[in-house]
Amino acid sequence: MEDSTEKEQPKEEGTLTDDDKKLLDKTTENTSEESKEAPTPASSETNPETSSDGATAKTKSNDGTTEEGQQSPLPVADDGDPKSKETLSSDQGQPPIDSKIKFKACMLLAGVGDALGYKNGAYEFCRNGPAINREVDEELGGVKNIKVNTKNWMVSDDTVMHIATAEALVSKWADDEALYTTLATKYIKCMKDMSGRAPGNTCRAATSMLRPHIRKGYVIPFNSRGGGCGAAMRAVPIGLLYNRPDQLNDLVAISIESGRMTHNHPTGYLGALAVALFVSYAYQGKPLKEWGVGLLQTLEVAWKYIEDSGNDVKDNQDHWSYFKESWEKYVDIRGIRDGKSDPVFPTPFGPQERDRFYSSISFSGWGGSSGHDAPMIAYDALLGCGNSWKELCSRAMFHGGDSDSTGIIAAACWGAMRGFEDVPECNYKNLEYRDRLEKLSKQLLEKYTSKD
Ligand SMILES: [Mg+2]
């Protein structure tokens, strides 16, 4: 929806203005409702490319290529849990990271990324990344000293819906219809746990339309304004459960259907697809520089699914191109269209420059608030952070855009890729809903291994 806060451009770097202080002090109650609604792009006449063999997995298998952000020997962080027998190597020269740790880190760090980017609403709705970074470094002692807890760093709507997705996936369901019905039921139910968590209007309105007690009651009308990031922010568990290349068709179908239960617009639900795909890539150890082109190739599979499913095909076609073209532009900017070249970043590329860049790739100036740019900013942060959790947080959680949604995506990918490497225990030790997230990680792994 048209909302004035979305059109506001990030402020220039400098000292905290009065407005910034108000934003940093603001509680969530007054800020939540209007701000998630990134308006969707105007339709384009450009038709998506269709694929004659769209059901075939388009992802490349890991070829062992080293990648700057993934190449250091990884001291596998084990936070005390006994390791399961299954281990999966990232195949990039690192020691294999136990699958149980990767599942656990992915689910937990998702909540951490959300909580850090949210800061009880103060950071999500602050447009000044340099000011946030200064507060973290100079007043809070750096991210290494941030004790994430329910009182000061509660999780936001992103984690609540992330949990809802995971709960549906680990429940017993016999077919797709049963799974989608359960997802709809969970999304409705989780709306009761949104006090102080800044849920988006699109999710609230859409969940009120879901009718899981009737057949196909999880289908809502096409929404030409449904391009926000609310579908993307909750798709992590889908990529974790369907993380193998041969599971791509399931990943595509479930991410699209779960996404369009609230965001029935390509820019919205393709964000869910991008996040699920990136989490699967992270788990596989796929080199980061291949992710962008992998997503673009997977869009062909997604379009085939949309055509075959038969829902709102013409509307989807009319609105398809914005997501695709935005990603084509992005991979060109970073010089990674070939999936082989190392990414190119400008110098300098500090908090101020990043705010400007994130704003420039957004729909309306609020970087990360749409389905296309929430995974894009998270990906950009992963590409640029090297081996540093601190740098990842600075880029993905502490910026002037929709920082909790970019945070949950980036941190989940970090966990799926690296476990708890370089993450201080205080960041997750007292995380709200830690027990639920840990339990779900175990149930997801159990379901994943039982499917083999
Ligand atoms: Mg949120």
Residue 67: inside a domain, yes or no?
Answer: no
Distance 381 CA to ligand 1 centre (A): 18
Distance 369 CA to ligand 1 centre (A): 10
Q: How far is CA 289 from CA 239, 242, 286, 334, in A?
A: 18, 21, 9, 9
Whether residue 25 is annotated as binding a ligand: the answer is no
Q: 47 or 110: whose pLDDT is higher?
A: 110
What local confidence, expressed as pLDDT, does residue 343 receive? 98
- Of the candidate ranges 18-32, 343-357, 393-407, 437-451, the one whose mean pLDDT is the lowest: 18-32
pLDDT digits (tens, 9 = 90+) for 323-380: 999 999 999 999 999 999 999 999 999 999 999 999 999 999 999 999 999 999 999 9
Distance 339 CA to ligand 1 centre (A): 31
Distance 135 CA to ligand 1 centre (A): 20
Is the dihedral angle over the CA atoms 205, 124, 316, 292 positive or is it negative?
A: negative
Distance 85 CA to ligand 1 centre (A): 35
Distance 117 CA to ligand 1 centre (A): 8
Distance 186 CA to ligand 1 centre (A): 17
Whether residue 98 is annotated as binding a ligand: the answer is no
Q: How far is CA 403 from CA 5, 134, 326, 359, in A?
A: 15, 16, 19, 12
Is residue 331 helix, strand or coil? helix
CB–CB of 268/260 below 8 Å?
A: yes
pLDDT tier for residue 96 given thresholds of 50, 70 and 90:
confident
Residue 17: inside a domain, yes or no?
Answer: no
What local confidence, expressed as pLDDT, does residue 115 receive? 99
Total of domains in the chain: 1
What local confidence, expressed as pLDDT, does residue 85 receive? 32
Q: Which residues contact 93 (CB under 8 A, 6 or more apart)?
A: 66, 71, 73
Burial 19-32 (b: 16+ CB within 10 A, else e): ebeebbebebeebb
Q: Is the pLDDT of residue 24 over 70?
A: no
Place of tokens 């451009």: 9
| CATH number for position 153 | 1.10.4080.10
Whether residue 158 is annotated as binding a ligand: the answer is yes
Residue 276: inside a domain, yes or no?
Answer: yes
Distance 234 CA to ligand 1 centre (A): 10
What local confidence, expressed as pLDDT, does residue 125 receive? 95
What local confidence, expressed as pLDDT, does residue 94 receive? 60
Distance 71 CA to ligand 1 centre (A): 32
The torsion angle over the Cα atoms of residues 264, 282, 406 and 119, rounded to 10 degrees, is: 130
Distance 421 CA to ligand 1 centre (A): 25
pLDDT digits (tens, 9 = 90+) for 33-76: 333 444 343 333 222 222 222 222 222 222 222 222 222 222 23
Residue 385: inside a domain, yes or no?
Answer: yes
Residues facing residue 87 across a β-bridge: 98
- Of the candidate ranges 81-85, 175-179, 211-215, 383-387, the one whose mean pLDDT is the lowest: 81-85
Distance 217 CA to ligand 1 centre (A): 26
pTM of the predicted model as reported, rounded to 2 decimal places: 0.83
Whether residue 156 is annotated as binding a ligand: the answer is yes
Q: Report residues near ion ligand 1: CB below 5 Å.
A: 156-158, 404
Distance 118 CA to ligand 1 centre (A): 7
pLDDT digits (tens, 9 = 90+) for 222-248: 999 999 999 999 999 999 999 999 999
Residue 52: inside a domain, yes or no?
Answer: no
Q: Is the pLDDT of residue 80 over 50?
A: no
What local confidence, expressed as pLDDT, does residue 200 receive? 97
What local confidence, expressed as pLDDT, does residue 93 receive? 53
Distance 199 CA to ligand 1 centre (A): 6
Residue 354: inside a domain, yes or no?
Answer: yes
What local confidence, expressed as pLDDT, does residue 34 receive? 32
Q: What is the mean pLDDT of the chain?
A: 84
| Residue 268 structural domain | 99-449
What local confidence, expressed as pLDDT, does residue 420 receive? 98
Q: 20 or 109: whose pLDDT is higher?
A: 109
Q: Which residues contact 253 (CB under 8 A, 6 or more apart)?
A: 176, 305
Q: Is the pLDDT of residue 312 over 50?
A: yes
Distance 45 CA to ligand 1 centre (A): 33
Distance 222 CA to ligand 1 centre (A): 23
What local confidence, expressed as pLDDT, does residue 143 receive? 98
- Which amino acid is located at 387 in the chain? N
pLDDT digits (tens, 9 = 90+) for 261-280: 999 999 999 999 999 999 99
Determine the Cα–Cα distance for residues 226 and 206; give it in Å rounded to an integer. Answer: 10
Classify residue 316 as exposed, middle or buried by CB count within 10 Å of its CB (0-12, 13-18, 19+). buried
Residue 31: inside a domain, yes or no?
Answer: no
Q: Is the pLDDT of residue 219 over 80?
A: yes
Determine the Cα–Cα distance for residues 361 and 430; give it in Å rounded to an integer. Answer: 35
Distance 94 CA to ligand 1 centre (A): 34
Residues facing residue 228 across a β-bridge: 370
Residue 51: inside a domain, yes or no?
Answer: no
pLDDT digits (tens, 9 = 90+) for 420-451: 999 999 999 999 999 999 999 999 999 999 96
Q: Is the pLDDT of residue 386 over 70?
A: yes
Q: H or E stretch including 98?
A: strand 97-98
